[in-house]
Structures are given as C-alpha cells and as structure tokens.
Amino acid sequence: MPFELAAYQLADTSDVLTPALLVYPDVIDSNIRTTIQLLGDAARWRPHVKTAKLAYTMRRMVELGVTQCKCATTTEMSTACEAGMRDVVLAYSMVGANARRVREIASRFPNARLSVLVETAEQAAAWAGSPLGIFVDVNPGMNRTGVSQDRADEVARIVRSAREQKIEFRGLHYYDGHVRNPDMADRRKAAFEGYDKLMSIVAAVEREAVVEEVITSGTPSFPCGAEYPGFRGASFVHRVSPGTVVYNDMSSVVQLPDLGYQPAVAVLVSVVSHPKPNVATCDGGHKSVSADEGVPTCAVVGHPDATPMKPSEEHLPIEFSGALPEIGELLYLIPRHVCPTVNNFDYALMVRDGKIVGVEPVTARGHETRLAATA
C-alpha cells in the first residue's frame, strides 16, 4: 500500500536514535474529527485507549469533545482519568490485586464515573460496596470472554443478582472484534446478525433493570454498529468503541477505505546490513514494530517495491525489487498493527511539518506491578 514519503519525512534526523516512534498530532486531530463526523456526535464514541496510550492523545480526545472511553489496564485507566475522561470503562475482568487497584483508582478520581466488566454473578458481587458500576460482558462469538450471546437468561440472572446487592448495573458490553470480513456488505450482514441477538438480550435484561448503555464494535465493525437500525431511537445509549482509528495502521486503512483516515504513527528505522544483494536489514524487529498480526509487519513509506520479511527481535530484513537503500539510510515504516507497536516505546517524537516539535511519554504503556508501589 503506497504512502507519501513527504507526509512523514523529517527534515533533520541528525540527532534521532533509531528505532524511533514518530507521532503526527495534526493527523491525530484529523482522525478524531473524522470519527466524530462519521458518527454524528462525539457522545456516540467510546474509544478504546489501548491504542492511544499517550496522555497527550487522550487529552486531545477530551478537548475535541470525547469524554468517555474504555481501556484494558489499570495504567490506562489512571492515565485516562488524569487526561480528563469523565466516564471510563475498564473492559477487562479484574480479579485479586488488580481489582483492589481499580478500587484505589476509583477513590482517587471521585468525580469520574468508572465501571468494570463482569461475566458471572460472583464477579459482580465482588464490586458490592464500591462506587464502580458494572457492564455485563457478552460473548458475540469471538470466544475470548463473556457470557454466550445465546444465554440471555444468564445475563438477566447476573443483572438481577447485582441489583439485589445494590451494585450499579450500567449496561452491556459486546465486542465483535472478529467481524472483519473483507467485503463490507458481508461484514455488515455478519455484524447485524450479531446485533439482532444482542437486542434479544437487551429485551430479556430490561425485564430486570434499565439498560443505560450498550457498547459494541471495534475498528473493523464500527461503521456497521453506527448503521444498525435497531440502535437508532433505542431506549439505551449506544456507543461504538474503535480505538485504532485514532492512529490507524496498515490493517485499518484497508478495513475502512475511503473514509478519510490516515496513519498518524510511523517508526523510523536505519538500514544496518545488506545480507543479500536484494535485501536490506533495518533495526525494526518485533521489539519495535509489532508482529502479532503476521508478516509483513509493516509497509515501507515511499518504497512500493519493498517487501518486509519475517522479523527477529531487533532485525527486520526487507526485500527490494528495485534499488537497495544504502547502509545508514533511514526508512519510515507504517505498522500493520499500531496498538502494540506504540506500547513498545517509552517516548514518542511529535512531528509537525517535518520538524520534531516535542517529545511525549507513552504514558500508559506496560503494566503496574504491586499495590504497595502504587498506593
């Protein structure tokens, strides 16, 4: 996939150590505004900030009107609250010390509305006496977490049990991340079939309690969630939760063509070796550019003749059908999966008009370790 080199190239790279994470704030703003425009209202978007990671990016979301999000770690939850998010859902089942840490965060931010996911009545009961709300996690067929979408009765039972214990029930979480058919018509059909089942669950739950909010749709399926007729005029607030669209990557621009999105993150690397006449190796291994989505891990900006090969930890060999870049030459890589790529770096270089205008910490990367260290 071709990307224009001029859009990413730095005018001066003399002091930049590679690999380096380059972030383009003007593109971030454009992507945020594009998402809000597509949804018609910032209130319809609960972005997953596992992608954003930077407090800078979360603050820009808030400043542009997006004050609700979801996250997957306690580090992300704290960062989101500090950035000004007023409504944060920790979309991950928290147990043991992790759950106690969430309670600590809730006590630090009493003016923020914080919630967690549960999938059993026992998990719900663990939040009794806390200020946290709960969303019941529904498994849409991705088979990662949640109550099966064919078990509406079980979802209703969990809600009933929570209400009996005075636990705030907020709604349902339905992450259909597996719905990513290449053809949008097929994707829409698959997504709508799932949403039909979800609406049956809503009906069952509404016999027990008010459903305040329903959260659906990651990046590939969010246009489907936005279009589904059953969510229009519903008794609940419906929100989609794409996170990748804030930065975008090789995968998302293919999944969501012609919507105006552009990659806002690149990884700057150096060519370090010519192991074969048609191969240049750079310092863009999977410890910098994530390989979790497979090979190729990235696209090389300005080099449609380049084919990235299987990386090792610090090395990325790239096959070229044209002229081979010189040793020491810099390349700009667009990741195939930006979320874990951002998480690989401690700092991001902020780039405007070809110039580095600042350095921002990747605030929410990694995981916390001990309660004693964070109390």
The reported pLDDT for the residue numbered 77 is: 98
Question: What does each C-alpha distance from 149 to 128, 285, 315, 332 come to in angstroms?
Answer: 25, 39, 43, 43
The reported pLDDT for the residue numbered 374 is: 45
* Contacts by 36-44, CB closer than 8 A, 24 or more apart: 36/64, 36/65, 36/66, 38/223, 38/226, 38/259, 39/226, 39/240, 42/66, 42/67, 43/68, 43/237, 43/239, 44/226, 44/238, 44/239, 44/240
Domains annotated on the chain, with CATH: 5-22+259-361 (2.40.37.20), 26-246 (3.20.20.10)
The reported pLDDT for the residue numbered 375 is: 43
The reported pLDDT for the residue numbered 365 is: 97
**Chunked mean pLDDT (size 10), the chain, 375 residues:** 86 97 98 98 98 98 98 98 98 94 97 98 96 98 96 98 97 96 97 98 98 97 97 96 98 95 98 98 98 97 97 98 97 98 98 98 92 54
The reported pLDDT for the residue numbered 370 is: 72
